[in-house]
Amino acid sequence: MVSISVLLLSLLAYCSTTALSQSLRKTGQTVQLDGNYYYIPATSVAEIPGYAFFRIRADVERAGGLLPLTVISTIFQGFSGQDLGSTTTKFLEEDDVFTRGFLGGIYVQYTGFGPRGSNGNASSERLGTRAPVTSAFVNNATAIPQGPYFVNSDGQLYQAWRLFSDFAGSFTETVIPASDGGYTVLPANLPAEKPLAGVRLGVKDIYDLAGLKTSNGNRAWYNFYTAATASAITVQRLIDAGAVVVGKQKTSQFANGESPTADWVDYHAPFNPRGDGYQIPSSSSSGAGTSMASYPWLDIAIGSDTGGSVRGPSQVQGLYGNRPSHGLVSLEGVMPLAPELDTPGFLTRDPAVWTAASQVLYGSNLTITNRYPRQILTAGFPPTNSTSPAAQLQLTFLRTLSTFLNATVTPFTTNAAWSASPTPNSDPSLSRFLNTTYPLIIAKQQTRLVRDPFFASYAAANAGRRPFVNPAPLIRWSYGDAFPASALEDANRNRSVFASWWDSTVLQPDAETCSDKILLYPGSSASPSYRNVYGGPPTVPFGFSTGRISVFAGGPDFVLPLGEADYVSNVTGTRETLPVTVDVLAARGCDGMLFGLVGELVERGILKATVAGRSSVEGGQVLVRREVDEQ
């Protein structure tokens, strides 16, 4: 495809050079090196000093005016072939953008003592390579970040952005940084030391990213509104800490829960890679979950959780994920579903990255602690005599955790506890008391904050027309429209009553351990849910469940992957595997205690990082995978 495009442009230029010079704009080019595809931006990021570039200019010209080149920084003038070998090994281990093909040219920067503005003593002979070599003494302040680049015949250096295939359909668009500090529609160098230096980040497409449009999963919204002028505070914190935004990721529309495939009208639901490749991805942070389960080159994704939108995708794809305590960070620049319930959370395979990113995002509101409760409540856990593989994993983890904490284990039922300690002016049945709380809050808030201003602006600009909206948001909004404004106040009052009861009766604050108890419940149990099975039209999300506790109480709810269990797939006709997870709850504000606990469980081998691929434990080829060469 690249060659055809070049030929067509050449023919047009021959016909009308003047016209094209006024309308064509350079946007970069795509090349292939060592079997990998790379995007080379139109704008250079640095320049090799003229006196140093002179030594390799002829080699660049012989290469056609574009040469893959590696930049190396060292304080030692005696940089040798052995040093080059160890540096190359380090790059190959730490940077998946780098390949040996970038040793087509080498530029050594000496940042130690030496005459600035002069060549160093590096040479092909000294480094034991046939590649052209040049060097120079430079200041630390002006040194080019080391790593792989492309250099042109003028000595200009261009970043090498490795291209990967989004075979799971997780992203709405991929991005690269623009010169104005925003983003345009993967970095090549090894970055400086920052908390998240070089960590690759996917961003749910309800977060603003400077220079890009936000879709909220709705095509009309994307086309109607202009690009964001600033990034959401949450995303900017991560960028400032060194995270590299790879792209914006699919969300179910306006962050409402949707099931594939019929509910997803404007955009196609991404593919969950686990098992047979045709399991639901869960929502609304669907792209975040499928990308983390599919792509080893992506480190972490930021989603949002109002009623389960981080936890659901994490559970079904075997990822670490968190709904944090409510209010830890501003959600300015993020589309709201219901501000009193909305939270930003992460999905990732690596608990160390999870903790580091959370420390950056939640800042001073998160302090890692290492004193833990000695009481464990279990809700909905399998009986101790259960023999299913999934139940065995969950029960084994419970036993191991209770031993580690020297904790007692007590089965717990929220409904029964509520009935046993009645709250004045409330229904003794918790299921009745909170049945309409969630759907009323999200419907009344999102119609006021999102739908109504959107519809009004769109109609004014389009002769009274309404924009298209998927079935799931519409049915939820319509439900809310049937109630007066006072219904929102009543729903929030019920939410507050439950939160106060929970804090004073179940998971209580503790001066030593932050939370006097933790509560565990099964997250996923390797139960298949096929995306090709139609479950009926979307409905209003009535009811109360254990997964709604953190939503109403405002405390943290963390998803912990334990392993996987097999099932017989209706798609492949053979045994496949799906993830098994548990969720852990603590008192509000005790996120740091949970992160500390996870860290120690990882150190002891009780919890482990998961991997991308068909299996969350062993990886393996994704059955729906489609590479660039196959397109």
> Which tokens hold the place of 527?
């139960």
Predicted local confidence at residue 399, as pLDDT: 98
Tens-digit pLDDT profile for residues 266-324? 999 999 999 999 999 999 999 999 999 999 999 999 999 999 999 999 999 999 999 99
Say if residue 629's pLDDT is above 80: no
Look at residues 322, 317, 394 and name the one whose alpha carbon lies nearest to residue 577. 317
Tens-digit pLDDT profile for residues 164-201? 889 899 999 888 776 666 665 544 444 557 899 889 99
Tens-digit pLDDT profile for residues 552-603? 999 999 999 999 999 999 999 999 999 999 999 999 999 999 999 999 999 9
Contact yes or no for 436/540 (Cβ under 8 A): no
Question: Helical H runs in 114-232?
Answer: 124-127, 219-224
Predicted local confidence at residue 608, as pLDDT: 98
SS3 assignment, position 561: strand
Share of the chain above pLDDT 70, in %: 91
Predicted local confidence at residue 139, as pLDDT: 86
Predicted confidence band of residue 79 (pLDDT cuts 50, 70, 90): confident
**Cα distance between residue 492 and residue 337, in whole Å:** 14
79's CB contacts (< 8 A; 6+ apart) are 72, 108, 110, 122, 127
Question: Mean per-residue pLDDT for 223-251?
Answer: 96
Contact yes or no for 458/469 (Cβ under 8 A): no
Predicted local confidence at residue 126, as pLDDT: 85
Cα angle 524-525-530, degrees, rounded to a multiple of 5: 80
SS3 assignment, position 586: coil
Predicted local confidence at residue 378, as pLDDT: 99
Predicted local confidence at residue 28, as pLDDT: 83
Q: Write down how long the chain is.
A: 631
> Which tokens hold the place of 331?
């959600």
SS3 assignment, position 73: strand
Tens-digit pLDDT profile for residues 397-442? 999 999 999 999 999 999 999 999 978 889 999 999 999 999 999 9
* Strand (E) or helix (H) holding 523: strand 518-525
Q: Taking the mean position of all CA atoms in its chain, how far away is CA 171?
A: 10
Architecture (CATH level 2) of domain 166-183+195-365+617-630: Alpha-Beta Complex (3.90)
Tens-digit pLDDT profile for residues 89-98? 999 998 899 9
Tell me the CA distances in angstroms from 136 to 12, 150, 460, one per residue in order.
Answer: 43, 18, 61
Question: Mean per-residue pLDDT for 131-139?
Answer: 91
Tens-digit pLDDT profile for residues 319-373? 999 999 999 999 999 999 999 999 999 999 999 999 999 999 999 999 999 999 9
Say if residue 154's pLDDT is above 80: yes
572's CB contacts (< 8 A; 6+ apart) are 276, 623
DSSP class per residue in 391-402? HHHHHHHHHHHH
List b or e across 410-433, with b for residues whose CB sees 16 or more CB atoms inside 10 angstroms.
Answer: eebebeebbeeeebeebeeebeeb
Computed over every residue of the chain, the mean pLDDT equals 91
Say if residue 20's pLDDT is above 90: no
Predicted local confidence at residue 7, as pLDDT: 27
> Which tokens hold the place of 462?
């389009």
* Phi, psi at 163, each rounded to 5°: -100, 135
Predicted local confidence at residue 626, as pLDDT: 58
* Strand (E) or helix (H) holding 445: helix 437-446
Look at residues 298, 180, 289, 306 and name the one whose alpha carbon lies nearest to residue 254. 306
Question: Mean per-residue pLDDT for 80-89?
Answer: 92
- Could you state, in order of their start, the residue ranges of all structural domains in the chain? 28-162, 166-183+195-365+617-630
**Cα distance between residue 305 and residue 308, in whole Å:** 5
- pTM score, whole prediction: 0.88
- Which CB contacts under 8 angstroms, 24+ apart, belong to 138-145? 138/49, 138/109, 138/110, 138/111, 139/111, 140/111, 143/73, 143/109, 143/111, 144/45, 144/46, 144/71, 144/73, 144/107, 144/109, 145/71, 145/189, 145/190, 145/191, 145/192
Question: Mean per-residue pLDDT for 116-137?
Answer: 81
The two beta strands, 575-585 and 244-249, are unpaired
Predicted local confidence at residue 188, as pLDDT: 43
Q: Taking the mean position of all CA atoms in its chain, how far away is CA 118?
A: 45
Predicted local confidence at residue 25, as pLDDT: 62
Predicted local confidence at residue 236, as pLDDT: 96
Say if residue 393's pLDDT is above 80: yes
Predicted local confidence at residue 3, as pLDDT: 26
Question: Helical H runs in 1-146?
Answer: 2-15, 17-23, 50-53, 57-62, 81-94, 124-127
